[in-house]
Chains A and B, each alone.
Chain A
Amino acid sequence: MDLENQARIKELAEKLGPENLVVILGGAEAEASGLAAETVSNGDPTFAGPLAGVSLGLPAYHIFEDAIKNLVDPQVYDDQVSMMEMVLDVDEIIKEVSTYREQYAKF
């Protein structure tokens, strides 16, 4: 996960409290999305960024997951996301992200 994004999320968690934060991912690939979900919950597994060894426990969802998708105006979703839903391996991405969320999210 991008080091700058790690720094931003760490800062937001400190400022707002991790219990008040949910991370929404838009990654195009299952492995990278899973890595991001792991990084914001259990810490940076590559030990390269600000979240190395920092377990924020944040729950991460992918925009494709119903829990998030159902919160979005259907027209906006259709305009911004529906094309990618046809293109990407949605099931694999959701499986990967939810696995890390269920394992490491504390909130």
Chain B
Amino acid sequence: MNYPVIKGTAYALVHAPNLLLVQGSTQNMERAKNPYSEYLRKLPQHLRSFSEVVNYPPNQAYIGNLLPDELNNIAKPWYENPVQGDSQGKYGEIMDEALFYALLKISDAFDLVMLEKSFTEELKERIASHPLFAHQADLLKEGYGLEDIEMRIQDHKAEELHFDGKLVGCVKRAHDWDVNLNAHVMLENLVVKASGVLALKNLIAKNDLAPEEIEYIIECSEEACGDINQRGGGNFAKAIGEVCGCVNATGSDLRGFCAAPAHALVQAAALVQAGVYKNVAVVAGGATAKLGMNGKDHVGKGMPVLEDMLGAFAVLISENDGVNPVIRTDIVGRHNIGRGSAPQAVMEALVTDPLDRAGLKITDVDKYSVEMQNPEITVPAGAGDVPNANYKMIAALGVKRGDIERQQLGDFVAEHGMPGFAPTQGHIPSGAPFIGYARDLMLEGKMKRMMVVGKGSLFLGRMTNLFDGVSFVIEANSGESAAGAVDTDAVKKVVAAAMRAVAERLMEEE
């Protein structure tokens, strides 16, 4: 089979402490219920600076500067053991909040983002030196007077944008009455778009791609854009592609809670393998609602509020080039509707069923990229170490099947797993974060096979109690495809020569 390949990946983070305060759902609910609470009072003292988030080891791992396994060698808590970080990474970058406001403005097609004049001037200078956005500096326009911005906030319920303790702008509502176009939703959606742009631009730049080559974009985050008559009408994908110069692409949005990226990657692979499109980009922007989601636990335990990062990623799936790792579209796991939602049933459907079909043992997969949430965020909130629990479940399944002995359970987790390193942005940690490293390790001949496991909790939408998940295997390219094409030609020549010989013999016989 001529499998599609992972041609490139990009991972980006945005430091968003002010969006956390204004837009995070936990903070919003607390303000509504208990505006003078101790939590809201203490929260600002627990926010991190930009240099702290750059030097935070899991963030360096996310953008490609620190192999996740190396986190095992860094003492915990990681927030007290910084590394010498870089805002630029092998796979992407960490952007500060002010520059991200500029990106919000650049991504704003309806003049909804108002940035203050002097702040705009500062941003123009900064954006002019950013390699990916310098050519779009004019889109920042002239900026607005502070009175104008304050009036929009007071009289028209615009959402505030703060930086360094100052009001620097706002996002207006896009309609007077439509709840799906109010200022809160517009800011949330513009953040998805702008962070998606950051990931896709990095994908194109870091992998020497031409934006014109991309034929289709699948956006797989968790928000919905549309108006009162079509709440999730779309289309983030095309909107992101437009800002990135993907003039030959169309696209669509795919939703499936945290499992959406895995669904999207399988669909992208299928579109390429079927020959519908040559290059399909899977892109996801970040979620403002989840900023500071577990803030109460973090503040209560005297920690920094670690959910101050918006996450984004992009992956390009392309035709087999005989070099890049392939997506084994014949080793795909799916949590089918009739399967039941017990964790055991889910893991069997996603891990052992597809491996069984391919005649593989769980130990034949070098690394599993599961729900890669940073445990330093989830453990204090009582949600446990999510990737570690996933690895233990896979190992336990292996014990039940006889692939490994019970006493090897811990070794399996250490060898085939890795520490969680992704921000808790729902879809962002789910399966996708390790694809970049896996691609590099496979290109270097240091890894043969990995499995991406994406899972989603559908009950949150109150439409079904079913669980969901999709998985697939990525494998080092055997090079057979390129060689195979040559072989086919050679076979054709041999057959043609034989046919000619037969024909000549027949004619001689006549």
* Residue interface bits A46-82, CB-to-B below 8 A is 1, else 0: 0000000000000000000000000000000001111
Chain B residues 373-427 with CB under 8 Å of chain A are 382-384, 389, 392-393, 396-397, 399-400, 406, 409
Residue of A nearest to B348 (CB): A83
A31 beta carbon closer than 8 Å to chain B? yes
Are B382 and A31 neighbours in the complex by a CB distance under 8 Å? yes
Q: How many residues belonging to A are interface residues under a CB distance threshold of 8 Å?
A: 13
B345 beta carbon closer than 8 Å to chain A? yes
A81 to B400, CA, bound (A): 12
Are A83 and B382 neighbours in the complex by a CB distance under 8 Å? no
A7 beta carbon closer than 8 Å to chain B? no
* Residue interface bits A71-100, CB-to-B below 8 A is 1, else 0: 000000001111110110000000000000
A81 to B342, CA, bound (A): 7
Complex interface: chain A residues within 8 A of B382 (CB): 29, 31-32, 35
Are A28 and B384 neighbours in the complex by a CB distance under 8 Å? yes
B484 beta carbon closer than 8 Å to chain A? no
Are B343 and A84 neighbours in the complex by a CB distance under 8 Å? yes
B249 beta carbon closer than 8 Å to chain A? no
Complex interface: chain B residues within 8 A of A83 (CB): 343-344, 347, 393, 396-397, 400
Are B393 and A84 neighbours in the complex by a CB distance under 8 Å? yes
Are B344 and A86 neighbours in the complex by a CB distance under 8 Å? no
In whole Å, how far is B335's beta carbon from the nearest beta carbon of chain A?
A: 15
Residue of B nearest to A31 (CB): B382
Residue of A nearest to B33 (CB): A48
Q: Which of B344, B383, B399, B409 contacts A79 (CB 8 A)?
A: B344
Are A87 and B384 neighbours in the complex by a CB distance under 8 Å? no
In whole Å, how far is A82's beta carbon from the nearest beta carbon of chain B?
A: 7
In whole Å, how far is A100's beta carbon from the nearest beta carbon of chain B?
A: 15
A82 to B384, CA, bound (A): 19
Q: Which of B342, B384, B396 contacts A86 (CB 8 A)?
A: B396
Are B389 and A87 neighbours in the complex by a CB distance under 8 Å? yes
A81 to B393, CA, bound (A): 11
Are B399 and A86 neighbours in the complex by a CB distance under 8 Å? yes
Complex interface: chain A residues within 8 A of B400 (CB): 82-83, 86
* Residue interface bits B60-82, CB-to-A below 8 A is 1, else 0: 00000000000000000000000
Q: Which of A29, A35, A84 contacts B344 (CB 8 A)?
A: A84
Complex interface: chain A residues within 8 A of B384 (CB): 28-29
Residue of B nearest to A46 (CB): B296
A84 to B345, CA, bound (A): 11
Complex interface: chain B residues within 8 A of A31 (CB): 382
B340 beta carbon closer than 8 Å to chain A? yes
Complex interface: chain A residues within 8 A of B409 (CB): 86
Residue of B nearest to A79 (CB): B344
In whole Å, how far is A52's beta carbon from the nearest beta carbon of chain B?
A: 13
In whole Å, how far is A97's beta carbon from the nearest beta carbon of chain B?
A: 15
A79 to B352, CA, bound (A): 14
In whole Å, how far is B412's beta carbon from the nearest beta carbon of chain A?
A: 12
Residue of B nearest to A89 (CB): B384
Complex interface: chain B residues within 8 A of A80 (CB): 340, 342, 344-345
A86 to B396, CA, bound (A): 6
Residue of A nearest to B344 (CB): A83
Complex interface: chain B residues within 8 A of A32 (CB): 382
Complex interface: chain A residues within 8 A of B406 (CB): 86
A82 to B344, CA, bound (A): 8
Complex interface: chain B residues within 8 A of A86 (CB): 392, 396, 399-400, 406, 409
A35 to B345, CA, bound (A): 26
* Residue interface bits B171-197, CB-to-A below 8 A is 1, else 0: 000000000000000000000000000
In whole Å, how far is A46's beta carbon from the nearest beta carbon of chain B?
A: 10
A79 to B345, CA, bound (A): 8
A86 to B406, CA, bound (A): 9
**Residue contacts A-B, CB under 8 angstroms, 9 given:** A32-B382, A79-B344, A79-B345, A82-B400, A83-B343, A83-B344, A84-B344, A86-B392, A87-B389
Across the A-B interface, the 5 shortest Cβ-Cβ residue pairs: A86-B396, A83-B344, A87-B392, A80-B342, A83-B396
Name A residues whose Cβ lies closer than 8 Å to a Cβ of B.
Answer: 28-29, 31-32, 35, 79-84, 86-87
Supply 9 further A-B pairs (C-beta < 8 A) apart from A86-B392, A87-B392, A87-B396.
A29-B383, A29-B384, A35-B382, A79-B342, A80-B340, A80-B342, A81-B344, A83-B397, A84-B396
